[in-house]
Structure 1
Amino acid sequence: MTNDEKWFEKKIDRREFLKKAGIGGAGLALGVSGASAFFTNKVKEEKNFADGDEEISFYGSHQAGITTPMQKNVYFVVLDLHSTDRAEVIQMFKNWTDYSSKLVDGELVKKDGSNALLPPSDTGETVGLNPYRLTLTFGVSISFLKKMGLEKKRPQAFREFPPFPKEQLQDKYTGGDIVIQACADDEQVAFHAVRNLVRKARNTVTMKWSQSGFAAIGDRLATPRNLFGFKDGTANVTKEKDFEQVVWCDSNDWMRDGSYMAVRRIQMFLETWDRTNLQEQENTFGRYKDSGAPFGKKHEFDEVELELLPVDSHVRLAKEVNKPIYRRSYSYSDGIDERTGQFDSGLLFLSFQKDPDSFVKVLTNLGAQDKMNEYVTHIGSGLFACFAGIKKGEYIGQKLFE
């Protein structure tokens, strides 16, 4: 059973526990000692669930942080290679593997020696905290392959994005060689992980851009809302068999069991949106704001009927191409835009798909018609190949270098 399947099973178990906790005869049905053990274990699970102190392994057939149910926070960083020495880059990935396996378990990256005149091995800001479901996800870009002389290993599906209508990309938020996505239910835990990984690799990489983000998650399996107040990610698949069809690569190369990460930094004009009436907001999405249901339906996950949606609505245009992607986006708020005096806020759009062409087709169909264009601008972009999962004894990206 995968980590993700365990998550969904745990959610069902949790609901069953709550039901049984409200049934007076539950203890009699289980027997006194059996009931005591049952409720003791369940209470412990509930506490771990509430505290975020749950085990998510760094190792597995797929990288965590892709189909893992979303955490509340992300710290996302894009890096450029400072060195292209093969041995040095491989050692960096080996070091990151060692560090990552400890970070997700809530351990220090390295214990200090006896010499107090040396800097601490771990920066220390998470001492006393649990891992808060920390996941670390790594990927590389086409430019990484070129710089490392590995372009012959570039999968056919791994192609640069074409220009998209209405985008206004800024160089500082575009490109880069390596991506690290750290997600956790505590923002300091996520930042600490990236800080220590970058610190360890300072001779090999430099930071290009980074973004912290947050997701409005109450129930962990509920769809979070973006800063426009609408649910974001309703159409995501949830079952492992569907992940195989949508997310995980099945090519016979180093990307098998990996996934392609599409990144868009989207600036949202909140002040303009906040002056827009509710009907127009719902027409922009093609969904009801409160329930998340598509037009003409009552519930969030009801089937979308395209003919019931405005022709320029975001959902209709995205659905028309019938190319599912797996969204995992986070909101951001970076203070005030000095030029306009308005919020510098938006969406760190992240999606995973087995073929980047699915994302290209969706964004191309949205094109200039999408009514959402009145309220957003795409200012950052990137495409990264996220490696398959790491087995114990292996290092991140090992199959690429073999």
Structure 2
Amino acid sequence: MTQNRTPPPAASGPSRRRLLAGGAAAAAAGATVGAGVTAGLLTGATQPATTPTSASTSATDEVDLTRIVPFYDQTHQAGIRTPPQRHSVFMTFNLNAGTDAQDLQVLLARWSAAIAQLTQGKTIGTVEPSRPDAVGTDTGEAYGLAPASLTVTVGLGPGVFDDRYGLAAKRPALLADLPRIPGDVLQAGLTGGDLSLQACADDPQVAYHAVRNLARMVTTTAHTHWVVLGFGRASAGPGQETPRNLMGFKDGTRNVAGDDDYDRFVWLGEDAGWMAGGTYQVVRKITMTIETWDFDRISDQQRIFGRTKDEGAPLTGTAEFDTPDFAARGDGGYVIDQASHIALAAPENNAGVKILRRGYNFTDGLNDQGLLDAGLLFISYQNDPQHFIDLQNRLGRFDLLNEYIRHVGSGIFAIPPGPPTGSYIGQALFA
């Protein structure tokens, strides 16, 4: 493996049409169901949604499984700045041929009302219908479980704003398909998507239940595209210990933190129009050659990351949160290799730019070669996707870690702001 490769200079600064006849009716219906009082309209239920009476808590849990994360009346959608939960399910959808803007509008209204129910630990209709020949509107696997800090974040892909739906004038200014990035080996079945759902919870069954039931609602409007089940959060939020990726190293030590960072690097401002308070989501499925990595000597692993494996300290320090000294030299050259992951990703070497990392580990069992199929579901949020592109271009060309990872999936989505009570995600699109 080549030592001390030099990176480039740091960069400078029933028919759903019958449910809602027209945009005005859709908004009114969205307001009604958004308040959670007409679950029957959204789900076909004949009786109101119910709240379970017991909570799945354990004396050994470090988290409060009864915690509810608000859905309505938040400037930003939940699941972005929310302290990362332990589990995630990420799913994308493609809109079907023949779908129109009104179909999309209804789906977003139905999803919003359902998410509001789910995040409170409620069902989205009946689990056990009174008629034995009827189908339940909620699949029931989370019935009796606590909310577990469930959040569901909804994204809109570039395809939503093409000529099919008459929404081109509302396209977020910076939303476009990601260009090819060095080192990409993307698979078509794991790339793109018109809609995204990121469900996170401290109970894996709660997260899975949410996506499963939201996916049932797409009916003829859309179809599922790709999905990743994540576990073991790979980024930290306020008050959380830095977690570890499947290579055993702490991940996200220098993540975005504090109001100033979020305002500068994550949230869109008032000049973004209907997207004010929103952001852009980049998702990458990254596989790791786990077996090869496991046989690499510890000194090389630490050189690749630029950090110690146990404490997570930069190689120029002794504690995890010590500021790296990228200019420090030793007998063999730079103490922190200039092509190490930490050096290439550091704000100091990228014109001060940061992105919010909110990733999860994943495993899909064994691949066709009998090796572990596992890695990182990388999710980042930024107010300018170019920040991710510039950063990943540097990493894709020079990162020592590239010998052990492959980017096989990718997607970009606009994340609208949070909806007020009586509204739904993306309602301003249809005004």
- Pick the TM interval, shorter chain: 0.7 to 0.9
Kindly report which structure 2 residues correspond to 1:157-236, keeping only aligned pairs within 5 A, or say none.
157-215=174-232, 221-236=240-255
5+ long unaligned stretches in structure 1: 1-43
**SS across alignment from 2:393:** helix
1:85 to 87, 100, 118: 100
1:323 to 349, 353, 366: 353
1:370 to 379, 391, 399: 399
Distance 2:323 2:219 in 1: 49
Structure having the higher helix fraction is 1
Higher mean C-alpha displacement, 251-260 vs 191-200:
251-260
Matched, 1:74 2:83: no
Distance 2:207 2:244 in 1: 21
Matched, 1:400 2:429: yes
1:55 to 34, 44, 68: 68
Measured against aligned partners, the alpha-carbon deviations of 1:73-99 in whole angstroms (never above 9, x if no partner) come to 001100000252222211111111110
Q: How many residues align?
A: 357
Kindly report which structure 2 residues correspond to 1:121-140, keeping only aligned pairs within 5 A, or say none.
121-140=137-156
Q: Give the direction of change, closer, same or farther, for the CA distance of 1:399–1:49 in structure 2 (3 Å limit).
A: farther
Identity rate, percent: 40
Distance 1:79 1:242 in 2: 31
Measured against aligned partners, the alpha-carbon deviations of 1:245-290 in whole angstroms (never above 9, x if no partner) come to 1211113322111110111110100011011011100111111111
Q: In structure 2, what is the equivalent of residue 310 of structure 1?
A: 337
1:267 to 287, 290, 293: 287
Q: In structure 2, what is the equivalent of residue 293 of structure 1?
A: 313
5+ long unaligned stretches in structure 2: 1-56, 329-335
Measured against aligned partners, the alpha-carbon deviations of 1:181-211 in whole angstroms (never above 9, x if no partner) come to 0000111110100111111222211000101
**SS across alignment from 1:306:** coil
Distance 2:400 2:61 in 1: 43
Matched, 1:151 2:151: no
Code of the residue aligned with 2:318 in structure 1: it is K
Contact between 1:323 and 1:359, CA under 8 Å: does it hold in 2? no
Distance 2:203 2:396 in 1: 36
CA-CA distance at 1:116 after TM superposition: 3.2
Distance 1:129 1:51 in 2: 12
Q: In structure 1, what is the equivalent of residue 363 of structure 2?
A: 333
Q: In structure 1, what is the equivalent of residue 265 of structure 2?
A: 246
1:284 to 282, 289, 304: 304
Q: In structure 2, what is the equivalent of residue 25 of structure 1?
A: none
Q: Give the direction of change, closer, same or farther, for the CA distance of 1:240–1:49 in structure 2 (3 Å limit).
A: farther
Distance 1:119 1:49 in 2: 37
Distance 1:367 1:335 in 2: 26
CA-CA distance at 1:304 after TM superposition: 2.2
Contact between 2:87 and 2:233, CA under 8 Å: does it hold in 1? no
Distance 1:399 1:292 in 2: 44
Higher mean C-alpha displacement, 168-177 vs 105-114:
105-114
CA-CA distance at 1:401 after TM superposition: 2.0
**SS across alignment from 1:118:** coil
CA-CA distance at 1:58 after TM superposition: 0.9
Q: Give the direction of change, closer, same or farther, for the CA distance of 1:172–1:96 in structure 2 (3 Å limit).
A: same
Matched, 1:105 2:120: yes
Q: In structure 2, what is the equivalent of residue 120 of structure 1?
A: 136
Code of the residue aligned with 1:127 in structure 2: it is Y
